[in-house]
Structure 1
Amino acid sequence: MTAELLTGIAELTTQAAESSHDDDRLLGAALVIENGRIAWLGPAAEAPAADSVVDVHGRAVLPGWVDTHSHLVFAGDRAAEFEARMAGQRYAAGGIVSTMLATRAANEADLVANARCLRREAEAQGTTFLETKTGYGLDLAGELRSARAAAEVADVVSFLGAHVVPPGIDRRDYLDLVTGPMLASVAPYVDFVDAFCETGAFDVEECREVLLAGRAAGLGLRLHGNQLGFSGGVRLAAELGCASVDHCNHLDDADIDALAGSNTVATLLPACDLSTRAPFPPARRLLDAGAHIALASNCNPGTSYTTSMPFCVATAVLQMGLTVREAIWAATRGAARAVGREHGPDAVGSLRIGGRADLQVLDAPSVAHLAYRPGMQLCVATWTEGARARPLANRDLST
């Protein structure tokens, strides 16, 4: 395989240290990509020879974003719901049903095409690894179709049959379907089981039943918890050792202690909180207590219709009390932890010798510009497993 040298890097953020508090930036750096992996990194003056050279002309390089919470497999549009919410209507879990009806009516090819379009959007802004969920089919055929579509588009797939109880079916019958035939049908296509632990969706004991059934089927565990109130989801996730519990807007001291005393990652979704005008999660308190956090887009048609991880990073810095370094860690290395990909040969979210060459180049000299210049399209190129994506129109790596 040929070796490709990236040089002229003003600031290289590796995320190879073991804490967001450690400064792992290299100035005046270079790196070599070979066979989809990082073969070398260090000072540009010491770079080895390579078959090809890309000079990034004083730009910043960092790991690609790891987006570990999205809902890309859907059809339809909920702009009217958004307008109503902006006019003062309170958000509730029931809006999912309108997307369910549109998704059931769509064919699998259309679901895949829409999800791929959204993934391309994400990649253009630096995302190189992405999780997505089922959860808008909510019957056997619809969830199976969604799981197959998700597996074609995403790196990690979560089964979210326990999103809400669809109209026209008994609650107990639906839980039996989710934990029985539905789970069995989607299992070959998914990596995790998930559930929405919230008023209007499922309570703690129902979510426990769903998660334990998923574990028995060999799946990892994830959970939506404490988005709309003190649902008990956070403590359930910590108790069961879920890889992550997502949203976490409403936390008391016991919730924070439970997370700090566990390996469960609190995945925070700031774009969703802006769209629903919800209180932001206590990110600063979580970090100061020793909990692990991640940031994700929660891209979905109802409450967070964005694929922009830079937007989430900037919001976390400007509105949630995180430093730039903490927010970037949460969107890369911390997010990798939330899907069990922080360490090992398939690790993502960091740049280290022998690791995957998933990286992005910013049209800026440092990562501080991600929050310093919010809303700007700064990503000019990405490499995913060593393969370079085409630059955006009118944007390339020339000076």
Structure 2
Amino acid sequence: MNSEILEIRNVRVVTATGSHPVARCGIKYFDGNIRIKSGKILSIDEDAKDAEKIFDGKGMIAIPGFVDPHTHIPFTGERSHEFIMRATGQKYSEILSAGGGIHSTVNNVRSATIETLAFEGLKHAGWLLKNGVTTFECKSGYGLDLPNELKQLKAMRMISEYTPQRIVPTFLGAHAIPPCGEEKYIELLKKMLDHVRAESLSEFVDIFCDEGAFSVEGSKEFLKYAKSMGFKIKAHAEELSLNGFGSIASELGATSVDHLAMCSEEEMKVLAKNKTVAVLLPLTSFYLKNPYAPARRMIDDGVAVALGSDFNPGSNTFYSPFLTIHLAVNHLGMTPEEAFVAHTLNAACALDMGKWIGTIEVGKYADITILDAPTLDYIPYMPTEEIVRAVFINGVKVFENRNYFSR
């Protein structure tokens, strides 16, 4: 770790505070200088001091690096033909009949090498980095058998060796039900967990419990088993239908429950009671022309809301935190402050990393994105990565907008 002192000068710091997920957020604004040493924030002061390295952010705002708590990286192949089919009104069942859908990506992943998956993942990591994303989650789930699920997880490890970003791997072998059927596949998934744990490939285990996916009973059984093995648990729930699994996963101790477009008022109360982070994915709702999650009611009921992209090759090819925040403000009823906290502190907490990242505070890792924006409101108003001036991870500048013209 570099022991030289870096000072980011003349910025307006915009950040939440703390290490735990929050429903009712408070934003701290501070004009001054951020001092960084050995990868961590040393101080935030009004007065500039001597430093070996200086970055002048005059007129800029400094925010915590965005955290994306829900992506389906790594994958390979593309499904643009499905997008056109869906855009012209064809149903998902028709797409499946034409050889598309999730099983199209499964076939691509199964035929790819680890190196190919890692290469594609690194490309997508670079796209996220240019958008100021310094930490993101990766999910398996396009293998649906032991060798290919492990291949995806090992590709994530390879990606983490070549990108400066922090990567949080999640085992989502329970992404879809293969031809063998749910009951038999859940038993296979349990055996897969032995390999995942033995090779330390993931701390998190996820399952897709919804219409056309895993049943409530099977999902509950599998998450309880994963938790008994020492894994942290998550759930895809109620994207398409209301089945009550959001509250069940919360009661099981899930770190986060994701999607929740159909979440009920009763479930919101359970999520709030258990301090389960609700990861909402408005880009997918936008892409599929589906209903948005009831974020306003969730927050008013005391639920800590995070935002993620759900970037994947089939149901959402958007990944921009700027567009996500725009949709959250424009369609989910969130304030700019709430949406900002949802994509920084709360998103970090959805990955159990709030202690180290998600805010700009002394002692935390210096993952900082510099924006050419006059105010926080400018982010949803002008949702483009072109306002990213520079990105720092562990206090090292890892991206700078070379097309940027000085004022």
Q: Given the two structures, how large is their TM-score scaled by the length of structure 2?
A: 0.92
The answer to whether the 8 A contact 1:67-1:131 is kept is yes
Find the residue that maps to 1:390 and give its secondary structure: strand
User: Contact conserved, 2:10 with 2:32, CA < 8 A, in 1?
Assistant: yes
Moved more, 16-25 or 49-58: 16-25
Matches within 5 A, 1:1-399: 1-9=3-11, 11-16=12-17, 20-26=24-30, 28-43=31-46, 46-91=47-92, 95-153=101-159, 155-167=167-179, 169-180=180-191, 182-187=192-197, 188-343=200-355, 347-375=356-384, 377-395=386-404, 398-399=406-407
Deviation at 1:153, TM superposition (A): 2.6
Q: Aligned-pair distance for 1:86?
A: 1.7
Unaligned runs of 5+ in 1: none
**Counterpart-to-counterpart distance in 2, 1:42 and 1:299:** 38
Q: Deviations over 1:325-370 (max 9, x none)?
A: 1001000001111111112xxx110111111000100112222211
State whether residues 17 and 26 of structure 2, in contact with CA within 8 Å, keep that contact through their aligned partners in structure 1.
no
What SS does the aligned partner of 2:56 have? strand
Name the CA distance, whole Å, in 2 between partners of 1:317 and 1:2: 40
Quick one: distance in 2 between partners of 1:141 and 1:212?
24
Q: Structure 1 CA distance, aligned partners of 2:69 and 2:216?
A: 23
Q: Distance in 1 between matches of 2:213 and 2:34?
A: 48
- Alpha-carbon deviations, 1:113-157, whole Å to 9, x = none? 001100110011100011110000001111010111122335211
Q: Hey, what's the Cα distance between the residues in 2 that align with 1:186 and 1:85?
A: 36
CA distance in 2, matches of 1:33, 1:212: 42
The percent of aligned pairs where both chains have the same amino acid is 33
Aligned residues of 1:241 and 1:263 also touching (Cα < 8 A): no
How much does 1:14 deviate?
2.4
Quick one: which amino acid aligns to residue 286 of structure 1? M
CA distance in 1, matches of 2:188, 2:303: 35
Q: CA deviation at 1:390?
A: 3.0
* CA root-mean-square deviation: 1.7
AA aligned opposite 1:173:
K
- Could you list the runs of 5+ residues in structure 2 that have no partner in the other structure? 161-166
CA contact (8 A) 2:171 2:205 kept: yes
Query: How many angstroms does 1:307 deviate by?
Result: 2.3
- 1:5 aligns to what SS in structure 2? strand
Q: CA deviation at 1:198?
A: 0.7
Cα deviation, 1:373-399, whole Å, max 9, x if unaligned, reads: 124521121001111113133227x43
State the one-letter code of the partner of 1:29.
Answer: G
Maintained 8 Å contact 1:37/1:353: yes
Checking the alignment, whether the CA contact within 8 Å between 1:265 and 1:338 is kept in structure 2 is: yes
Distance 1:238 1:23 in 2: 27
Moved more, 32-41 or 306-315: 306-315
Q: Residues 91 and 377 (structure 1 numbering): CA distance in 2 closer, same or farther, change over 3 Å?
A: farther
Q: Secondary structure at the match of 2:235?
A: strand
Q: Which moved more, 1:231-240 or 1:193-202?
A: 231-240
* Partner residue, 2:163: none
Distance in 1 (CA, whole Å) between partners of 2:159 and 2:277 is: 24
2:169 is paired with a residue whose SS is: strand
Q: Is the 8 A contact 1:313 1:371 kept in 2?
A: yes
Superposed CA deviations along residues 268-313 of structure 1, whole A, max 9, x for unmatched, are 0011111111100000000000011100011100111122111111
TM-score (norm 1): 0.94
Match for 2:394: what amino acid?
E
Q: Could you tell me whether the CA contact under 8 Å between 1:41 and 1:47 is conserved in 2?
A: no
1 CA distance for matches of 2:261 and 2:39? 38
